[in-house]
Every structure is written in structure tokens, then in C-alpha cells.
Amino acid sequence: MTRYDLIIVGAGPAGLSAAIEAAKQGLKVIVFDENAKPGGQLFKQIHKFFGSKEHKAKIRGFKIGEELLKEANDFGVEVVLNAIVIGLYLDKEVTVNINDEIRHYKGDAVIVATGASENMVTFDGWTLPGVIGAGAAQTMMNLHSVRPGNKVLMLGSGNVGLVVSFQLLQAGCEVVALVDAAPKVGGYGVHAAKVARCGVSFYLSHTIIKAEGEECVKGVTIGEVDSRWRLVPGTEKHFEVDTICLAVGLSPMSQLLKMAGCEMKNTPAGYVPKCDETGETNIPGLFAAGDVSGIEEASSAMIEGRIAGLAAAENLGFLDKEELSEKIYELKKALLSLREGMFAPGNRGKAIEKTEEGIDLSINLLKKGYVGETEIERFPGVTRKKGVHPVIECTQNIPCNPCQDVCPKKCIKIGDKITSLPTLDETKECSGCGMCVAACSGQAIFLMNEEFEPGFAAITLPYEFLPLPSKGDKGMALDRSGKEICEAEIIDVKTKQVFDHTHLLTMKVPVNMAGKSRFFVVRRQENE
């Protein structure tokens, strides 16, 4: 039996953050993780995170993972990989399988940060090779550099389904459809919009009827469901695909906590331990942090981890009560701000029709994945003026404000409440630097100049695909639904370190198309 001040199970965002804070207070900390690499799911997250500076907004998930690892290393945290925790007992004893030997550890405090596992749905053929979890797709393409399939159908319009669909496109796969049984897109509208403008069709109120194929997936049939989830006859649609990707939610992986004897509760979001505001369970010195105590974003998991790490330090006398409450004050505030807005945990299942500002939400966005042309005009970030200026197609209250932070001219205003929709300060002059376009984690900001040339407008858009078009390339402009609407020519391509792999394409389109043109494809060969 080896003793540690603090044992942490799981080296994901929550576990590592907890380890760092506890180690900073002088605790002897060990972290076990069953995987060969630390970071949990962070290394599969290649999109820029939402939130504010203190939530590491506009940094890509895998970069945050690298930063966390470095910090953990700097503070002397011991991370043991390929270490499978198989048991956790009441007296905070942990049994671990390391190199095919069972080892016993005892922690004066234990933090369980085991994260979540994917939910699945059943349909005819769901066990066929080719039906995979969205996590599997992410693992294959973002960790192992292999495309999960060539033609993919995605089931699930929550953030995971939307983000992974976009990643599939980035990896060079074709996403033939995005399907969800719910009548509305579940994830952030901006995530949906960036998928839709690439030409992916959304099928809300649809479900998979059957995955076809004898020994592996060759196709899929979907059909419409009514408000009571019954199939509407005659609505079947067939797609040829080799992969069906399931993104239908996550559940806390809380078995260890239950095993240890924690008081648990059944919630619609899963089976979770009863915790106080620091993550401590009813067993003193035993904490839960991150998705294991309720599914949220990685940004929240990191803050919960930091709080639990500090609380464990207090529990063992490395900090007194006052120091603890002082230290977690800002963290709690940051956590609360992430839990605001339309997608707040408290709003799950509620039908929201207006923004906090009282603007009617875009129905089209919820039904088809993109904001309709007439709807977009009513949002405060969408204005028309002379010269170059940003058009901010941000239509939902999400806790996020990098656009306000990066604008060197202070044109963009969100204010202290970070869920507010961005507005434009008409008195300030946009320099067209494009910092906001690259910084927007939702890729919802465009620059527009309707006076670029007589009869032509210039539209600058964020672009994260290969091959990167070059100046002079001719092609087609696509509208928000991904439909080709007019010819376009690339007049500028900006690539900067500070843009972090988001390139800025500027295309020239007829001025009457300026309000609709939101994406670009290089002209397809006539004879193809």
C-alpha cells in the first residue's frame, strides 16, 4: 500500500486541473489514467473553445491539453498512464491495474474525475461494423490521422454531433446528412451554421430506420417522426454511406463513486454523486469533478477540477477555510458565467423563443441549421454601413466574448454579461484586420465591404480546410445553406500565427449577393 495526500482518478481536463491546484498547495499528488495518453478527450477537440479569457476561450482544445500537461509537470504532479483503476473503497483505498499487477494506494483525499461515456441508440443494423460512436470518429481522425469513413451520416444535433460533423469535413469525409429525432437543433446554432454552409443537409424530426448491409454498413434509411416519436409512413429517405456516426449524448461514468459508497442521485442527465459546491461528496475527503458529476463542457470541468483540488488541500489542512473561500471566489464566478445563457444546465428541455435581448430566435436555424436571410437582419451584430465592417451572425446567448477582446478598435461590444449578443459601436471605425473573424469560436463573423469595386462586394470569411484557395482562384460563393449562388473570386488570403490555423479568405462577389455569400468552393471542373 502506497500513501499519497491526494489520489486523482482520470487525467482529463478536470483531473489535471485538480492535480495542478493541489500540487501548488504542496500536496503529494498522483493521477491515474487508463489511457496511454493523458488529457482525456481534450486532445480530440480541435475547435476553438468558447467562453472568456479565464476559460481559455479561442484556444483549441488540444492546445489547452498541452498547456495543462506542462503545468502539471512544472508542479511535480505524478501522472501514471495505462493505470486502470478497478476499485475505489469507502476508506479511500484505490486498486489499480498497472502492467498486469494489482497495486493498492491510499489517499488522504481522492478526487474522481472519470468523465463520461457515450450514450447509444438502437435501430435495425446498429451492431454492424461501420456504425460508430462520435467519439470513435474523433479518435480516429484527430488522434490517429485516419478517416473514419468516406461517406458519413451523423445522428445527433447536439454540440458533439455538430462539432464532429465539422471535423469530419475537415478530415476530408463527406457528411451526407445530419439527423436528429428532436424537432430542433440541440447544440449551438453557430456550430450548426458552419456545418450547414458547407452543404450538409439537416434532417430534424428524423430517425434512423435501418442500417443496411450484410456484414458492414452500405447504406442507411431514415424517416420522419411525429411529435410522439412515431414514424410517419412514406417519409423514408435512403443514403449510400459507409459510416453511421452516433452522437446522442453522454452519461457520467460514476461507477467508482457508487462503489465507494457515495450518496448518489438519479437525474435526467445521469446518475451522479451528491456534492457540495466544491465537489465534495458525503464521504469527507472524497470529491467528484468534471463530467462525472454532471455533463458540461471541458471549460467547466477544468474549473471544477481546480476548485476540487483546492478543497482537497483545505480538507487536509494545507489551506485554511478562509484561504480556500478566497481562492475559489473567482473560480466560482467563472464557473457561474459558463452556466449562463440559453444552453445553461438549468435551461435543458425548456423551449426558449427569444434571446435575452428579446429578439425572436431564428426558427430556420433550429430547423435547418442556418439562419434565414430575412431572419438574420434582426440581430444586433448584423448591420450595414459604408466601408469594411464586421457582420456578426451570433444569434443565441452563449457565454463567449473573444470578439470583444480582440478588436483593436473596440468596435465590438458585449459588455460584462458574456452571454449577451455582440453589438457594433457605430462610432468606432473598423480597420478590417480580421482579428474578430479568426477569434470567433463559432466562425460566425464575416467582414463585409459593399463598396469594394463598383458592383462588387468583398466578403471575408473564416476557412479551416485544405487545400487552401489562393489569391486569384475562381469558384462559387455558397449561401448559408451551402447552395452555390454566384461566381466568386478570391482576392486575398490571410494566414497569421495569431489566427491559429483559421485562414481568412476574402472573396469578391456581385454586390447584391453580399448579404448571402458565406462560403467558397473552388470552381469544379466542367468535365467532371
Partner 1 sequence: MSNVNNRFKKDLDKFITEFDDDLIICRCEEVTKGEIRRAVHDGMYTLTEIRRYLRSGMGLCQGQTCQILVKGIVAKELGISPMDLEPVISRSPTRPIEMKVLGNEGKEAL
Partner 2 sequence: MRISNHPILGKPEEKREVEFTYDGQIMKGLEGEPIAVALKVAGVKIHRYTKKYHKARGIFCAIGRCTDCVMVVDGKPNVRTCITPLKEGMKIQTQYGVAAKES
Give the binding site for partner 1 (CB under 8 A).
Answer: 2, 34, 80, 84-88, 95, 97-103, 117, 119-120, 122-124, 126-127, 251, 255-256, 258-259, 266-268, 271
- 172 touches partner 2 (CB under 8 A): yes
- What is the contact mask toward partner 2 in residues 57 to 86, using x (rule: CB under 8 A)? ---x-x------------------------
With CB cut-offs between 5 and 8 Å by kind, which of partner 2, partner 1, none does residue 215 bind?
partner 2
- 416 touches partner 2 (CB under 8 A): no
With CB cut-offs between 5 and 8 Å by kind, which of partner 2, partner 1, none does residue 147 bind?
partner 2
Consecutive H or E run containing 154: strand 151-155
- 133 touches partner 2 (CB under 8 A): yes
* Residue 452 half-sphere exposure toward CB, CA atoms < 13 A: 25
* Residue 433 half-sphere exposure toward CB, CA atoms < 13 A: 16
Query: What is the distance between the alpha carbons of residues 30 and 39, in angstroms, rounded to a whole number?
Result: 15
- 122 touches partner 2 (CB under 8 A): no
Q: Which C-beta is closer to partner 1: that of 252 or that of 515?
A: 252
For every residue of 315-340, DSSP letters joined together read HTTSS-HHHHHHHHHHHHHHHHHHT-
Residue 79, helix vs strand vs coil:
strand
Query: What is the distance between the alpha carbons of residues 339 and 441, in angstroms, rounded to a whole number?
Result: 17
Q: Estimate to the nearest angstrom the gap between the alpha carbon of 526 and the chain centroid.
A: 38
With CB cut-offs between 5 and 8 Å by kind, which of partner 1, partner 2, none does residue 144 bind?
partner 2
Residue 309, helix vs strand vs coil:
helix
Give the nearest distance from C-beta 447 to partner 2 in angstroms: 21
Q: Are 211 and 217 in contact (CB under 8 A)?
A: yes
Length of the chain measured in residues? 528
Q: Which C-beta is closer to partner 1: that of 270 or that of 285?
A: 270
- 15 touches partner 2 (CB under 8 A): no
Would you say the C-alpha torsion 269, 274, 133, 66 has a positive or negative sign? positive
Q: Cell triple for residue 455?
A: 458592383
Give the nearest distance from C-beta 296 to partner 1 in angstroms: 19
Candidate list 283, 465, 513, 522; residue touching partner 2; CB under 8 A: 465
Give the nearest distance from C-beta 254 to partner 1 in angstroms: 8
Q: Are 36 and 83 in contact (CB under 8 A)?
A: no
Q: Which C-beta is closer to partner 2: that of 149 or that of 432?
A: 149
With CB cut-offs between 5 and 8 Å by kind, which of partner 2, partner 1, none does residue 122 bind?
partner 1
Q: Cell triple for residue 338?
A: 459558463
Q: Which C-beta is closer to partner 2: that of 75 or that of 465?
A: 465
- 35 touches partner 2 (CB under 8 A): yes
Torsion of CA 22, 27, 32, 38, to 10 degrees: 50
Q: Which C-beta is closer to partner 1: that of 126 or that of 499?
A: 126
Residue 319, CA distances (Å) to 25, 244, 280, 322, 329 in order: 8, 50, 16, 8, 14
Which region, left, alpha or beta, applies to residue 346 given φ > 0 means left and ψ of -120 to 50 means alpha?
A: alpha
Q: Which C-beta is closer to partner 1: that of 116 or that of 334?
A: 116
Q: Which C-beta is closer to partner 2: that of 135 or that of 279?
A: 135
With CB cut-offs between 5 and 8 Å by kind, which of partner 1, partner 2, none does residue 353 bind?
none
Give the nearest distance from C-beta 519 to partner 1 in angstroms: 37
End-to-end CA distance of the chain: 68
Q: Which residues bind partner 2 (CB under 8 A)?
A: 34-36, 46, 60, 62, 117-118, 127-133, 135-137, 139-142, 144-147, 170-172, 215-216, 464-466, 468, 501
